[in-house]
Amino acid sequence: MALLVLLGVAVCSFLILMGLRLHSADPDKPPFSYLHATLPLPATRPGEAVVFTLHTPKGERGFTLRQLQSLPAVSYPALQPQVAQQHTYQGVPLRDLAELTGVSGQDVRVMGSDDFGATIHAADYMKYPVMVAYSAEGQLLTPAQKGPLLVVFPDVQAPQRFPAKTYGSQWVWFAESLSRAP
Ligand SMILES: Nc1nc2c(c(=O)[nH]1)N[C@H]1C(S)=C(S)[C@@H](COP(=O)(O)O)O[C@H]1N2
Ligand SMILES: [Mo]
């Protein structure tokens, strides 16, 4: 009898663990390799500028550069199609920004300070660590590098998936805000 109960417990644990494993291996939402997880959000200092704004369904949420840097961060090499330079960029995955915005899994629109906007598809940012980059090689992006904030695609890791021909227009530079795509 005790043996049967034990066997039951073992079988159930196995099934639960398998379920968890299959869940975490969701091919449409793969785990990202993070540079760091969410850090404590620094308070805004007097006079400190908001550099990026999330348009959530409940209103706006602005972030200073230091606050943006406290969000989950990724880092990977990418070849900026316009300046044709490869850099190791650091920034916040759109997947995390979309979740903070309350629009996870929906197409998003990233706007630049020049009012240029691009739609970035959920299938791309949910599966790949497309980011809003703030630095390259650990140094803040300069205007010549399309900074201070630039949308970056992992085109070195997945060149077939993100060809410049079709994705070039989505590398929004001077990025300023994110909202659900209209
Ligand atoms: N902020 C901003 N980002 C932008 C654009 C823009 O006009 N403003 N143009 C996009 C388009 S359509 C393309 S093809 C490339 C053009 O970059 P380039 O002018 O340096 O070749 O940047 C993209 N990112
Ligand atoms: Mo373009």
Q: How far is the CA of 7 from the centre of ligand 1 (A)?
A: 62
Q: Tell me if 52 CB under 6 Å of ligand 1.
A: no
* Digit-coded pLDDT (tens) for 147-160: 999 999 999 999 99
Mean pLDDT, range 142-170, rounded to an integer: 96
Of 18-32, 67-81, 134-148, 167-181, give the lowest mean pLDDT range: 18-32
One-letter amino acid for residue 35 of the chain: L
CATH of the domain at 62: 3.90.420.10
Q: Residue with the nearest Cα to atom 13 of ligand 1?
A: 169
Residue 27 and residue 1 share a domain? yes
Calculate how far, in angstroms, residue 170's C-alpha sits from the geometric centre of ligand 1: 8
Same domain assignment for residues 158 and 88: yes
- Does residue 114's CB lie within 6 angstroms of at least one atom of ligand 1? yes
Could you tell me if 153 and 120 lie in one domain? yes
Q: Is the same domain home to 72 and 111?
A: yes
For 101-114, b where at least 16 C-beta lie within 10 A, e where not — what string?
Answer: bebbeebbbbbbee
Number of compact structural domains in the chain: 2
d(CA 177, CA 170): 14
Distance from Cα 136 to the centre of ligand 1, integer Å: 19
73 φ/ψ angles, rounded to the nearest 5 degrees: -120, 145
Give the closest residue (by CA) to ligand 1 atom 19: 82
Q: Please give the pLDDT value at position 70.
A: 98
The pLDDT score that the predictor gives to residue 12 is 45
Average pLDDT over residues 156-173: 96
Both 84 and 17 in a single domain? no
Tell me how far the alpha carbon of residue 57 lies from the centroid of ligand 1, in angstroms.
28
Looking at the fold, whether 108 and 168 belong to one and the same domain comes out as yes
**CB of 112 shorter than 6 A to ligand 1:** yes
Q: Determine the pLDDT at residue 9.
A: 60
Average the pLDDT over 89-100 and give the result.
98
Burial 73-95 (b: 16+ CB within 10 A, else e): bbbbebbbbeeeeebebbbbbbb
Could you say which ligand is closest to the alpha carbon of residue 164? Answer: 1
State whether 143 and 167 are in the same domain: yes
Q: Shortest CA distance to 157 belongs to which of 134, 181, 118, 124?
A: 124
Q: Residue 5: is its pLDDT beyond 90?
A: no
pLDDT in the model for residue 2? 67
Q: What is the pLDDT of residues 96-130, one digit of tens each?
A: 999 999 999 999 999 999 999 999 999 999 999 99
Whether residue 82 sits in one domain with residue 9 = no
pLDDT at 83: 80
User: Are both 149 and 167 inside the same structural domain?
Assistant: yes
- 67 and 145 in a single domain? The answer is yes
Same domain, 135 and 111: yes
The parent domain of residue 172 ranges over 34-180
Question: Looking at the CA of 111, which ligand is closest?
Answer: 1
Do 16 and 63 belong together in one domain? no
